[in-house]
Structure 1
Amino acid sequence: MIISKLSIVIPAYNEGRTIHLILNKVKAVELINDIQKEVIIVNDCSTDDTELAVQRYTNENPEIEIKYYKHNVNQGKGAALHTGISKATGEYLIIQDADLEYDPAEYNDLLKPVVNGFADVVYGSRFMGSNPHRILFFWHTIGNRWLTLASNMFSNLNLTDMETCYKLFKTSMVQSLKLTEKRFGFEPEVTIKMSRIPHIRIYEVGISYYGRTYYEGKKIGWKDGVRAIYCILKFGLFKAK
């Protein structure tokens, strides 16, 4: 598979303190086969200096292609991803959080099954392989595994980490989906809907995870877990469009 450009979609909400650090990591990555990078940042109406941080970084680093979009009203991570996905022009795109929990140095690990002609979609799993994984919350881990199991029951996949941030999609495929979830329900919705594309090839690779505590800025909470269960039933059991 020949890929000329990878779109990197970064939803951002109040990430002014760290977004330049993740952009440095994205910039430093040299993709296999000389694949070019297109960085798409969607600011979901941040109340901090996220916009100024992005503008400053763009001015200081003109050599990296950065496309910047802003929501005038806070809509949620899923909505920011909808915007970013719609603007992607690379043959493939990957989702990258604006914090430092996931390492862009592992993009090539996710790209290899695609470049070698095996995959259309690649998920980066925090729960497989021997990569570094920060030890944090027991119940979050149990919740993630349970949500993945429930999602697998309806998608007929055997993923180990449905809730992972690192999802690499063939752009035309994910752009063909009608995605409606505006918050963290994006994860089960896109997974279940993607699984229904005829003859789709989905792979998983192990990735590292440098998780944050709530004190450090983690945003997902128990209400998002409840919404994820609702979405699994909505899109899996009742096959909502």
Structure 2
Amino acid sequence: MPRAWKISAAYPSNLFHCSGGISRGRICSQWVVSSGSNASVGMSPPLVAVRDPPQCTPSRTADRITAFGVTVFDPMSLNRALSVMIPAFNEERTLEIILKHVLEQPEVGEVIAVDDGSTDRTWAIMSRFAERDPRVRAFRLDTNQGKGAALRRAVEEVRMPFALVQDADLEYDPRDYPTLLRPLTEGRADVVYGVRGFAGQTAFSFWFVMGNKAVTFAANLLFDCYISDLESGYKVLRSDLWRRLNLQGKRFDIEPDITGRVLRLGYRIHEVPVRYYARSRAEGKKLTWLDGLRAMGELVRLRLSSYGALFGRAADPGYHSERQRQLSLRHPLRP
């Protein structure tokens, strides 16, 4: 018996037509927007599920299907839907472990690992995994430029429908990928953050927790939102939205840079609880109180800067307002 399929985007079912149709695992040559209020915006839905989806073979992966204008997926299966971006600097002690755990997750379609000018064996480990597993692609920055620079390099390479940041340490658990992806695949959100539980973690210092709360409070105040954990390392966005953010952060200012730009575009951040295993400064924790002050300054700058200055050629208010209208129609109690 076939599974029950549904349209998982806020688009009327007649909005798209296909020159070849979808039948028995074959996908048409092109999807086009034919009618509807968003036709003038020229956007395509992020996700459309159908009763008889095409099967992703090694030569036709999710990124190839996305290129047709929609992503066809089985809402009961998230296989190969996710690009995992791993920026790393001198993480030889934990990189191999986290890569193994990431690649064990069926949701992972590709891993984009970026070595931020490491001086240890980080690059050698990345290269070895890239040689062994076709899902892994490794890139290297000539000098240490910061987490933000490494992440921006990874964004350029994303090919799956959704993309997530995975720190190279062992603080975040890849087993949370299904929880993080579900609001996106159900069409209820375009941005999902994993919220850490700060209770029961012996590695936390009082000032670390208070600093995170202060930065998060500043974001809520400046952007009239309510989020719980701005500095969370687990941020999952639709891949096309990652590219539209026009990120500029180079080091740890990338965290407020992502959040501030998402909020300036008008998107609301969906939060889900995730596992978190805090490490101490002796174990390699790099954030300092100065990073907290810089984060607050960056949030103020993002709030006061003009829309065009932030997004440049990527500025497209019509696209984002239409997308937010569609998201508002996706209510759990709506039929």
**TM-score (ref. length: structure 2):** 0.65
Letter of the 1:75 counterpart: Q
Letter of the 1:196 counterpart: R
SS in 1 for 2:281: coil
- Whole-angstrom distance in 2 between the partners of 1:13 and 1:135: 21
Deviations 1:11-53 (A, max 9, x none): 000001110000111012233xxxx421000100001110111
- Whole-angstrom distance in 2 between the partners of 1:134 and 1:194: 32
| CA drift at 1:135 | 4.8
Which residue of 73, 76, 99 corresponds with 1:23? Answer: 99
Q: Are 1:183 and 2:183 an aligned pair?
A: no
Q: Note the 1:129-140 alignment, pairs <5 A.
A: 133=201, 135-140=203-208
SS in 1 for 2:82: strand
Which residue of 204, 229, 232 corresponds with 2:296? Answer: 229
Letter of the 1:184 counterpart: F
**Structure 2 unaligned regions, length at least 5:** 1-7, 9-46, 48-72, 74-79, 311-335
Q: Note the 1:194-205 alignment, pairs <5 A.
A: 194-198=262-266, 200-205=267-272
The aligned residue for residue 122 of structure 2 is: 50
Which residue of 157, 162, 182 corresponds with 1:87? Answer: 157
SS in 2 for 1:163: coil
Retained in 2: the 8 A contact 1:58–1:66?
yes
| CA drift at 1:201 | 4.4
Identity of aligned residues (%): 38
Retained in 1: the 8 A contact 2:90–2:122?
yes
The aligned residue for residue 169 of structure 1 is: 237
Which residue of 210, 213, 226 corresponds with 1:142? Answer: 210
State how many pairs are aligned. 232
- Whole-angstrom distance in 2 between the partners of 1:201 and 1:145: 19
**TM-score (ref. length: structure 1):** 0.90
- Whole-angstrom distance in 2 between the partners of 1:205 and 1:82: 24
Question: Comparing both chains, which one has the higher relative contact order based on Cα–Cα distances under 8 Å and sequence gaps of 6 or more?
Answer: 1
Which residue of 112, 115, 128 corresponds with 2:182? Answer: 112
Which residue of 172, 184, 188 corresponds with 1:102? Answer: 172
- Whole-angstrom distance in 1 between the partners of 2:120 and 2:170: 18
Aligned-residue CA RMSD in angstroms? 1.9
Q: Note the 1:122-133 alignment, pairs <5 A.
A: 122-127=192-197, 133=201
The aligned residue for residue 41 of structure 1 is: 113
Retained in 2: the 8 A contact 1:133–1:208?
no
Q: Note the 1:198-217 alignment, pairs <5 A.
A: 198=266, 200-217=267-284
Retained in 1: the 8 A contact 2:227–2:269?
no
Letter of the 2:235 counterpart: K
The aligned residue for residue 148 of structure 2 is: 78
- Whole-angstrom distance in 2 between the partners of 1:194 and 1:58: 31
- Whole-angstrom distance in 2 between the partners of 1:238 and 1:5: 34
- Whole-angstrom distance in 1 between the partners of 2:213 and 2:185: 29
Q: Quick check: 89-98 or 223-232, which moved more?
A: 223-232
Q: Which has the larger radius of gyration?
A: 2
Task: From the superposition, tell whether residues 179 and 228 of structure 1 become closer, same or farther in structure 2 (CA, over 3 Å).
Answer: same
Letter of the 2:110 counterpart: E
Retained in 2: the 8 A contact 1:40–1:84?
yes
- Whole-angstrom distance in 2 between the partners of 1:82 and 1:48: 22
| CA drift at 1:195 | 1.4
